[in-house]
Amino acid sequence: MYALVVSRLFYLLVLYINILFMVFVEKNKSLLGLNSFNVDEIADFFVELSDKEQAIEFVKKQLPQYKNVLILGGGCNILFTKRYDGLIVRPVFRGIEIVEENEENVFLRVNAGEDWTDFVTYCSQREWGGVENLAMIPGNVGAAPVQNIGAYGVEVKDVIERVEAIELSTGVECEFANAECNFQYRSSIFKTSLKGKYLITAVIIKLSKKPVFNIRYGAVKSEIEKMNISEISCSQIERVISNIRKEKLPDIKIIGSGGSFFKNPVVQKDVFDKIIEFNSDAPYYIVDGGYKIPAGWLIDQCGWKGVRVGDVGVFHQQALVIVNYGKATGKEIYNMSMQIKADVKKQFNISLVPEVIIL
């Protein structure tokens, strides 16, 4: 009898400890302030995870009870158009550490919850090259490989060594080498075949102590001249890119936006020739697979730049950016994006593909 009582007390103690250390999951969570479009949608369930160990424990013990799961970083590059029927997981663990260093390079482990802009500044201040062209891209480090973020001739795939993650179905830690990530233009394996199957915990990034700077874009060259920069450095390039982005893009703390709404399309020669025939001054870049036409230019030619309907609009400085001027819903923003897409298709026979994830 005594043994049975002790056994039951031990069972209750273990149960109490498990409950005590369970992560608190919020119900009916407002996503206002958790997405850069600043739309007020609701998630059925929401949880923040403060470190990798807590994430592993949560994935193993609590996650299996939820049907739909979405990993949400900084909330940029995502448009909620309706209530999210499931659980949103937000990893907020931070930290940067040097894992290897030599005369040429430094290798950093950057946790998923680090702010990307802060990380770029951290590197540029130390004159470690490789990410300075990616300054002021909103979002967290964990989302960078998913989207393969890029700007001004540089993509994050150029500096990623490997990605550390947790498999959501098992809670097992794993690593993906750069080649395994299947990086493409604004895409990766985490956005395609492995979408929704892993929680990225950290990214190992290789930076150069002797950087070669990419300043071939006209806007970058012009800004360097405007700033009268004679000696190029990582910190100077970060300032250049930051200035350009401040001039062209809205401050998401003031005006809701997801950055570039559409990808820049790459078209074949026959489509390109037809555009040039009627638009000899059309901007373009020759890339593998064809000709890249700036989506912002296409949208501008269709007359959308600066248009506003209610609280939804196309930013007056950059036609590629759709903004929320106040209380626009995700559905209203989505509807305008589809009207823009239809007009570009009609005028140029080009189908724009959203860069923003639409839910």
Domain of 296? 250-358
Provide the mean pLDDT of the chain. 89
* CB neighbours of residue 93 within 10 Å: 19
Q: Which of 289, 287, 293 has the alpha carbon at shortest distance from 274? A: 293
Please provide the DSSP assignment of 184-214 as one string.
BTTB-TTTTTTTTTEEEEEEEEEEESS----
Tell me phi and psi for residue 337, to 5 degrees: -60, -35
Instruction: Please give the structure tokens belonging to residue 322.
Output: 């759709």
Same domain for 204 and 341, yes or no, is no
Tell whether 229 and 283 lie within a shared domain.
no
Tell me which of 12-21, 161-170, 222-231, 349-358 is least confident: 12-21
320-353 tens-digit pLDDT: 999 999 999 999 999 999 999 999 999 999 999 9
- Given this model, what pLDDT does residue 15 score? 34
**Contact at 8 Å (CB) between 98 and 59?**
no
* Claim to verify: residue 181 and residue 260 sit in the same structural domain: no
Structure tokens at 317: 């400085």
Q: Which domain-ending residue is among 244, 262, 287? A: 244
140 falls in which pLDDT band (50, 70, 90)? Answer: very high
- What pairs with residue 207 in β-bridges? 106
What are the two backbone dihedrals, phi and then psi, of residue 200, each rounded to the nearest 5 degrees?
-75, 130
Amino acid at 15: L
Asked if the model's pLDDT at residue 20 lies above 80, the reply is no
* Mean pLDDT along residues 150-178: 94
Asked whether residue 240 falls in the same domain as residue 264, the answer is no
Same domain for 113 and 238, yes or no, is yes
Q: Are residues 256 and 240 in the same domain?
A: no
User: Is residue 6 scored above 60 in pLDDT?
Assistant: no
On whether both 73 and 109 belong to a single domain, the answer is no
Q: At 296, phi and psi to the nearest 5?
A: -60, -35
Determine the residue type at 141: V
**257 and 232, same structural domain?**
no
The predicted structure's pLDDT at residue 5: 52
What's the angle, vertex CA 39, arms to CA 36 and CA 45, rounded to 5? 95
pLDDT digit string, tens, across residues 177-224: 999 999 998 899 999 999 999 999 999 999 999 988 888 877 888 888
Task: Return the active site residues.
Answer: 186, 260, 355
Number of separate domains in the chain: 3
What CATH number did the domain enclosing 205 receive?
Answer: 3.30.465.10
Domain final position from 216, 244, 272: 244
Domain boundary among 57, 91, 125: 91
Please indicate, yes or no, whether residues 277 and 352 belong to a single structural domain of this protein: yes
Instruction: Kindly list the strands in the beta sheet with 256-260, ordered across the sheet, starting from the edge strand earlier in the chain.
Output: 256-260, 321-324, 312-314, 308-309
Do 6 and 60 have their domain in common?
yes
**pTM confidence score:** 0.81
C-alpha separations of 119 from 161, 181, 249, 265 in Å? 16, 21, 20, 29
Same domain, residue pair 128 and 223: yes
Position 200 scores a pLDDT of: 95
- Contacts (Cβ under 8 Å, ≥6 apart) of 57: 21, 23, 171
Q: What is the mean pLDDT of residues 221-239?
A: 87
**3-state helix vs strand vs coil in the chain, percent to 5:** 35, 25, 40
Residue 50: pLDDT over 70: yes
My answer on whether 110 and 177 are in the same domain is yes
pLDDT, tens digit, for every residue of 274-328? 888 888 888 888 888 788 889 999 999 999 999 999 999 999 999 999 999 999 9
* CATH number of 287's domain: 3.90.78.10
Q: Which pLDDT does position 14 carry in this prediction?
A: 35
Helical axes 234-248 vs 218-226, angle rounded to 10°: 110
Q: Would you say 304 and 11 are in contact if contact means Cβ atoms under 8 Å apart? A: no
CB 128 within 8 A of CB 158: no
Please report, for the domain that includes residue 59, its CATH number: 3.30.43.10
